[in-house]
Amino acid sequence: MIPNVSGAFQGFLLEKEGFTVVCMPQDFGQFKVAIDGYILPYFEKKFEIKRKRLTLKYFGDGKALEKVMKEADEVGDGTFSYTIIEKNGDYTLDLILNDAEYAGQITRFIVGKLKDNIYAERDTTLGETLFNLLKLRRLKIATAESFTGGRVISSVIANSGASECVKEGIVSYSKESKCERLYLDFKDLSREGEVSSMTAYRMASGLLKNGGCDLAVSTTGSAGPNPDGDAPVGTAFIGIGMLDGVHTYRLNLSGSREEITERAKNTALFLAIKKIKNL
């Protein structure tokens, strides 16, 4: 029997007369955990295959990742293989290093090329990584989300012990909420538009003005299906701020409403991670 730590359905492995049959849950997440934790180690031990396995988490431009991996292929000359899984800009890069002599060289090459966008060297999530950094640095986060509807703060709160590092999460969807809760001026908001750099800036600044938080994150954007004022569908602004100031980032996203919202949420988490790492 193969334990399933991620779900209810167990897997099993049968061997007889030189044949092996493996039966696994259909869900990809459960399947991958079992493969990584049990199946591959079983066969590596059985056939005395000495390989090193490494998982890197990358967020950013998929074309840049593909370019680096092609370069790594040439450097490695067949000494490793890899798989890439992407979900809304969040990439899981699984490396299997067949030659111990070149394993370190290949790893250093890939990490060196992608270091600005690698946020973890194990299979984890953006939300868990941000949570761990906040906890490690003893920082508290507050968020003001418009079109992401609380998804950013929910990704942090999903981790056990989040009360240690979460101050509040405000879903300031309406103009009235932005003005009442975050000190925005109604005239400025009407003039600049809800989907704008200044609105994202003032939302994050309002969180810092409220006090009690070390890191402020704001999101505002147009996820569709219709444009929001002068902002085309896919336009989004993210504010990331601490007491040293607030920086805003503009995104031009594509896809369905769900894809745009998820990509913006993931980008906000990644930018928050980079902010803390650069302290």
Q: Are residues 245 and 138 in the same domain?
A: yes
- In terms of Cβ atoms closer than 10 Å to its own Cβ (0-12, 13-18, 19+), residue 197 is middle
Q: Are residues 139 and 248 in the same domain?
A: yes
Tell me which of 124, 158, 190 is where a domain ends. Answer: 124
Tally of structural domains, the chain: 3
The beta strand positions in the chain, using DSSP E, are: 12-16, 19-23, 52-59, 80-87, 90-97, 118-120, 141-145, 166-171, 215-221, 235-242, 245-252
What is the extent of the structural domain holding 95?
50-124
Nearest-CA neighbor of 207 among 125, 117, 141? 141
Tell me which of 62, 90, 124 is where a domain ends. Answer: 124
Q: Are residues 28 and 58 in the same domain?
A: no
| 205-221 residue pLDDT tens | 999 999 999 999 999 99
CA distance 84 to 194: 36
pLDDT value of residue 26: 85
CA distance 148 to 265: 6
pLDDT value of residue 4: 82
Bond before 25 cis per omega within 30 degrees: no
pTM for this prediction: 0.86
Rg for the chain (alpha carbons), in Å? 22
Q: Are residues 225 and 111 in the same domain?
A: no
Looking at residue 157, its amino acid is: I
Nearest-CA neighbor of 6 among 22, 27, 21? 27
Q: Are residues 259 and 134 in the same domain?
A: yes
Q: Are residues 204 and 258 in the same domain?
A: yes
Tell me which of 10, 29, 49 is where a domain ends. Answer: 49
Strands 141-145 and 166-171: parallel
**Which long-range CB contacts under 8 A does 255-259 form with residues at least 24 apart?**
256/224, 257/223, 257/224, 257/225, 259/88
Q: Which residues pair with 239 in a beta bridge?
A: 218, 248
Contact 24, 31 (CB under 8 A): yes
| 97-145 residue pLDDT tens | 887 778 889 999 999 999 999 999 999 999 999 999 999 999 999 999 9
CATH number, domain with residue 206: 3.90.950.20
Q: Are residues 252 and 154 in the same domain?
A: yes
Q: Is 85 left (phi over 0), alpha (psi -120 to 50) or beta?
A: beta
Q: Are residues 135 and 169 in the same domain?
A: yes
Q: Are residues 147 and 37 in the same domain?
A: no
Looking at residue 54, its amino acid is: L
Q: Are residues 212 and 145 in the same domain?
A: yes
Contact 119, 195 (CB under 8 A): no
Q: Are residues 184 and 233 in the same domain?
A: yes
| 137-193 residue pLDDT tens | 999 999 999 999 999 999 999 999 999 999 999 999 999 999 999 999 999 999 999
**Which long-range CB contacts under 8 A does 67-76 form with residues at least 24 apart?**
68/110, 68/113, 68/114, 69/93, 69/110, 71/109, 71/113, 72/106, 72/109, 72/110, 72/113, 75/105, 75/106, 75/109, 76/102, 76/106
What is the residue whose two structure tokens read 């450097």?
A: 75
